[in-house]
Amino acid sequence: MPASPAAAVEVRDLVMRYGDKTAVDGLDLDVARDTITAVLGPNGAGKTTTLETCEGYRRPQHGSVRVLGLDPMRERSTLLPRIGVMLQSGGAWSGVRAVEMLRHIASLHADPLPIDMLVDRLGLDSCGRTPYRRLSGGQQQRLSLAMAVVGRPEVVFIDEPTAGMDPQARRTTWDLLRELRADGVTVVLTTHYMDEAEQLADHIHIIDRGRRIASGSPVELTRGNSATIRLVVTEPFPADAPASLQKALGGGVEVRPIDARSLLITGTADSTTLAKVSAWCEQQRVLPESLNLGQRNLEDVFLELTGRGLTEATR
């Protein structure tokens, strides 16, 4: 067997178009082994298309994709047993029972994980005999995750792992993904939840409109001059509010509108800045609903890079 390459996934200059819509636009992306790597971006950013190209579902129209050093199209039969895939939705017969489906996928692999352990770990015992169509969204997601890992893969690709899950199931899923990483499985996930990326991932690629706009660990991405101030007011701002506040605060900080009632101030924001914002509000006769000084988070990073909020872009 040839020496395993250092990178689990290498995407180079990938371009994918559907009709005249460009879904992926010259994307470069690396995933190191034994990490949890998140591909974060709003809906329609090209996350699923990128993942499906890695999974061998789509042929790159331009550029190249390698997973474990293999071409997912040409070396499909060698690669597929080594990866696990969790689709965004579906993937099971409507009349199949949950555990029956998991057993079936297991039977296609040489040395699958013990079913009972997996069922227990993902809390599927109570719905083991329930037909797929009657499972809740969260149960379907957990079954789908179990199907992705049952073959003891080296890399798992997970598209939106916790969409539709309650907080408890979300924790269980996160714990399982962390354990996979600890046991030597590389986890690649897409998400549009920044808290998921921030808390779970070792490495994050932020993508927007088919391009990678930033990469790094959560700490690297949110570092910088760090603090941000978030101002939310009770009534919509007058149109000139951002400019007026920018003037009042002077250089060193940047004021960005988020929506009609909220603003984000980034840069060397500190308690003096906070006092100035407060004074400005009084002078403008706007009533703050909340005024927060805090660490920059991924939402702020996305906003700075794209001029749009992540949540807003996702809608």
Partner 1 sequence: MSGTFAPAPGAAPFWRQVVAQARMEARLMLRNGEQLLLAVVIPVIVLVGGVEGAKHVTLHISHRPIDEFAPGVLALAIMSTAFTSLAIATGFERRYGVIKRLGSSPLPRSGLLLGKVGALLMVELFQVVVVGAIGFALGWEPASGPGTYAGFVLAIVLGTAAFGSLGLLMAGALRAEATLAAANLVYLLLMAAGAVVLPTTSYGAWGEVARWLPSGALGDGMRAAFIDARVDVTSLVVLAVWALLGTLLTARTFRWE
Name the residues that contact partner 1, by CB under 8 A.
55-57, 77, 80-83, 85, 87, 89-96, 100, 104-105, 107-111, 113, 117, 147, 149, 151-154, 179-180, 182-185
**What's the token pair of residue 140?**
């379907």
Q: Minimum distance from CB of 132 to partner 1 (Å)? A: 8
Nearest CB to partner 1, comparing residues 63 and 112: 112
Q: Minimum distance from CB of 84 to partner 1 (Å)? A: 8
Q: Minimum distance from CB of 82 to partner 1 (Å)? A: 4
Spatial contact of 147 and 91, defined as CB atoms under 8 Å apart: yes
Nearest CB to partner 1, comparing residues 92 and 169: 92
Q: Minimum distance from CB of 110 to partner 1 (Å)? A: 3
Rounded-to-integer distance, Cα 158 and Cα 145, Å: 8
Nearest CB to partner 1, comparing residues 154 and 208: 154
Q: Minimum distance from CB of 109 to partner 1 (Å)? A: 6
Nearest CB to partner 1, comparing residues 94 and 271: 94
Nearest CB to partner 1, comparing residues 95 and 236: 95
Nearest CB to partner 1, comparing residues 8 and 233: 8
Nearest CB to partner 1, comparing residues 100 and 304: 100
Q: Minimum distance from CB of 166 to partner 1 (Å)? A: 23
* Cross-strand partners of 227: 295
Q: Minimum distance from CB of 96 to partner 1 (Å)? A: 6
Spatial contact of 167 and 198, defined as CB atoms under 8 Å apart: no
> How many residues in the chain?
315
Pairing of strands 62-67, 83-86: unpaired
Contacts of residue 169, Cβ cutoff 8 Å, sequence gap at least 6: 123, 138, 141, 142, 162
Nearest CB to partner 1, comparing residues 145 and 194: 145
Spatial contact of 140 and 96, defined as CB atoms under 8 Å apart: no
Nearest CB to partner 1, comparing residues 92 and 214: 92
**What's the token pair of residue 311?**
């949540």
Rounded-to-integer distance, Cα 38 and Cα 149, Å: 17
Rounded-to-integer distance, Cα 61 and Cα 254, Å: 40
Contacts of residue 213, Cβ cutoff 8 Å, sequence gap at least 6: 206, 207, 305, 306
Q: Minimum distance from CB of 143 to partner 1 (Å)? A: 11
**What's the token pair of residue 307?**
């001029």
Cα Rg of the chain, angstroms: 22
**What's the token pair of residue 185?**
């499985």
Q: Minimum distance from CB of 125 to partner 1 (Å)? A: 17
Question: How far, rounded to the nearest angstrom, does the alpha carbon of residue 124 sit from its chain's CA centroid?
Answer: 24
Strands of the 83-86 sheet, one edge to the other: 83-86, 155-159, 186-191, 36-40, 203-208, 211-216
